[in-house]
Amino acid sequence: MLSVEIRHAIDPQTAKSFDTAALRKNFHVGDIFRPSEIRLIYTHYDRMIVGGAVPAGESLVLDEVKPCGTASILDRREMVIVNIGGEGTVLADGEYVMAKGDMLYLGMGSGPVTFAGDGRFYILSAPAHHTYPSRLIRIDEAANMSLGAQETSNERTIYQFVHPDVMTSCQLVVGMTKLAKGSIWNTMPAHVHDRRMEAYLYFDLAENQRVFHMMGEPDETRHLVLKNEEGAISPPWSIHSGAGTGAYTFIWAMAGDNVDYRDVEMVSMETLR
């Protein structure tokens, strides 16, 4: 079963007037991992698609997605699939066996995508202009960097999978951040990047724990309270940062004008409101 929700772009002035319910309706990503279903959110931020597929012992096929306007989703798109569950298989232009934490890049024209096995598959897709080779990337093949410190509660390792230091894509840049024991903050100090949108997915969070995801303009911040396997759509004008009540990992994904991970505008602590 396939379901597709459309999210229109929201400007910062409109977002200032939103209450909690409106913020969650427009920016919260939740309930995308239902057994035997593929659930997608088609956003008007750089036409990014985020979603989930849970085969639950069946085979699920992702092919035509009407908002894309093509016969098959990858006719004019690229895709990254992240497995956050048990071992699973993805069939597209080849067959790929994925363990937890693996990321699979599928180039434009890879055909329909079939999900099987015990995986819980996080789906990201953006328009493409060229066909680059599909590639399965495991965590030991990812570039990585360590940031933060225990003293500031933000010691973390950033793993760059679909990234210029690892491989070539059209516009998707995707990675994973793991926080060290005792650290709770990610992406703080905060930044914005007006040339790219971003999407977050938090996972490996205990059922009774939560992440407070910070968003909004630097001088007009808001927050979303997220549980395990939930995330946020971050517009280009918004900060994207979070603090958890317990340990967690998150996947970050960008699409837009460039793939330069360093092309950001840092936000000073004095600016945040």
- Give the C-alpha separation, 112 to 59, whole Å: 12
Residue 106 and residue 134 in contact, taking contact as beta carbons nearer than 8 Å: yes
pLDDT in tens, 71-114: 999 999 999 999 999 999 999 999 999 999 999 999 999 999 99
Task: Sketch the domain layout of the chain as residue ranges.
Answer: 2-10+31-137, 143-266
| Beta-sheet strands, E only, within 56-195 | 60-62, 77-83, 88-91, 95-98, 103-106, 113-117, 121-127, 135-137, 143-147, 156-162, 173-179, 185-186, 191-192
pTM, whole model, 2 decimals? 0.96
pLDDT, tens digit, 9 for 90 and up, residues 36-45: 999 999 999 9
Backbone angles phi, psi at 228, to 5 degrees: -55, 140
Binding residues are 191, 193, 198, 240
Task: Give the pLDDT of residue 136.
Answer: 98
Fold agreement (2-10+31-137, 143-266)? yes
- DSSP E strands: which ranges in 92-172? 95-98, 103-106, 113-117, 121-127, 135-137, 143-147, 156-162
Per-residue pLDDT, averaged over 253-267, amounts to 92
Class of domain 143-266: mainly beta
Q: How does pLDDT run across 20-63, given as a tens digit for each residue?
A: 999 999 999 999 999 999 999 999 999 999 999 999 989 999 99
Residue list for the binding site for Zn(2+): 191, 193, 198, 240
Q: Is the pLDDT of residue 152 over 90?
A: no
Residue 147 binned pLDDT confidence (cut-offs 50, 70, 90): confident
* Domain spanning 2-10+31-137, CATH architecture: Sandwich (2.60)
